Structure 1
């Protein structure tokens, strides 16, 4: 009898220790999030369309699935704030944030990244409607357009310099101050020394002096 009592006390102490370490007790209440995915009629005509949709909670920490009528339920959620996302390969859905209080009250709001503190409420249970169809590739246009030629890099490289050469003189003529500055920039700098001579004098030393005396006549 004493052995059984001792074993019971030992097991109880171990369970209490594990609950204290994890911070979760068996009495903590769990909640669920409900909603419905509303797709266009052309998206639900094929068989097995439900398998293309997943419901992600907090970027995939929990994953749910939808029923044949489009409804879904995420179970075993403690109180807190959760980001609900609908993942579909063809349609884009706006994520929704659901706040659950300790008393089980639900509040659904838009997830605005630019203004995270802004509260824009949405109906609950959730109604997830796609924002639009996902376009993976742009449609190729095989027809000829004159704009494609005009805005090509080669044409721009040729046309823009010619346009500047034609426009700049007219702009300079209308502004006397600008014209004077341009003339000063084009005048040769007579006061500036020759850079080649300066560098040669620095690194080459002094130039050898030429002998000014003329050689005398040689004796035969």
Structure 2
């Protein structure tokens, strides 16, 4: 039991010693401040400044705006930090600030999520300008004739109509020899032993409910009946 108490006492002393050492390191570390200014064009500062704040490293350090829109974030240790402006009515582009641990020199650069290694230097102290107003609602889409015509179903319906209007005009503009060749080719397809129906027959079958010519089966039955009557 005495050995257990002694070991517990030694562990407690080690924990307190480590905590005190960390506190001494933190207190001895040099702290810096991040300065800048926030601007919103054509809007009075009193209308948006009280509701706007500057957040460093996701809210680890916070700074508030003064009457002229300037801000100071104090007690920031050396390192690289993402500085953002949080505003309910406007959108600001964030920036990144690098604080050197050796010299304390500050460098501001553009925050590029797509290319983190790219460095675009920004002026320091920081200057944030509102890009656009914050949109909390999606704008309702309006009816557009161009979008309706680009619909695939509408294009499928309009394509045959356009072809029917364009092809006759193209035929009229051809010279007589070309028209004669086209007529011969059409006649070969329709009457030169081919089973392809003509345009008139196809339209009649589609919209007239049947063909004007008798079906092959009926013709065969009538021929069989005639042959039997002759016998």
Alignment TM-score > 0.5, same fold: yes
**SS of equivalent to 2:121:** coil
Q: Give the C-alpha shift of residue 95 in structure 1.
A: 0.8
Report 1:128-143 matches (<5 A).
128-140=128-140
Pair 1:91 & 2:90 matched: yes
In 2: Cα distance, 1:48 partner to 1:132 partner: 16
C-alpha change, 1:147 and 1:55, in structure 2 (3 Å) is same
Report the Cα distance in structure 2 between the residues aligned to 1:74 and 1:61, rounded to whole angstroms.
11
Alignment-derived partner of residue 64 in structure 1: 63
The unaligned stretches of length 5 or more in structure 1 are 1-11, 167-220
The 5 A counterparts of 1:175-214 are none
Q: Find the counterpart in structure 1 of residue 105 from structure 2.
A: 105
Please say which of residues 49-58 and 128-137 is displaced more in the overlay.
128-137
Provide the residue aligned with 1:115 in structure 2: 115
Name the counterpart of 1:26: 27
2: distance between equivalents of 1:158 and 1:138?
Answer: 33
Q: Secondary structure at the match of 2:18?
A: helix
Q: CA 1:97 to 1:23, structure 2 compared with 1: closer, same or farther past 3 Å?
A: farther
Equivalent residue, structure 2, for 1:147: 146
Following superposition, the deviation at residue 14 of structure 1 comes to 6.7
RMSD across aligned positions (CA): 3.5
After TM superposition, give the deviation of residue 151 of structure 1 in Å: 3.7
Once the two structures are superposed, what CA deviation does each residue of 1:86-113 show, in whole Å capped at 9, x if it has no partner? 1122222111100111232111111112
What is the CA distance between 1:153 and its match in structure 2? 6.5
Cα distance change on mapping 1:20 and 1:87 into 2, 3 Å: same
* Partners of 1:19 and 1:25 within 8 A in 2: no
Question: 2:61, 2:76 within 8 Å by CA — same for their partners in 1?
Answer: no
Q: TM-score, normalised by structure 2?
A: 0.54
2:18 is equivalent to residue 38 of structure 1: no
How many residue pairs get aligned? The number is: 153
Q: Which runs of 4+ in 1 moved over 6 A?
A: none
Contact 1:65–1:72 (Cα < 8 Å) also in 2: yes
CA contact (8 A) 1:97 1:110 kept: yes
Once the two structures are overlaid, the 10-residue window that deviates more, 94-103 or 145-154, is: 145-154
* 1:183-212 C-alpha deviation (Å, 9 max, x unpaired): xxxxxxxxxxxxxxxxxxxxxxxxxxxxxx
Of Structure 1 and Structure 2, the greater helix share is in: 2
Aligned residues of 1:91 and 1:133 also touching (Cα < 8 A)? yes
Q: Is the 8 A contact 1:97 1:108 kept in 2?
A: yes
Q: Which runs of 5+ in 2 are unaligned?
A: 1-12, 165-231
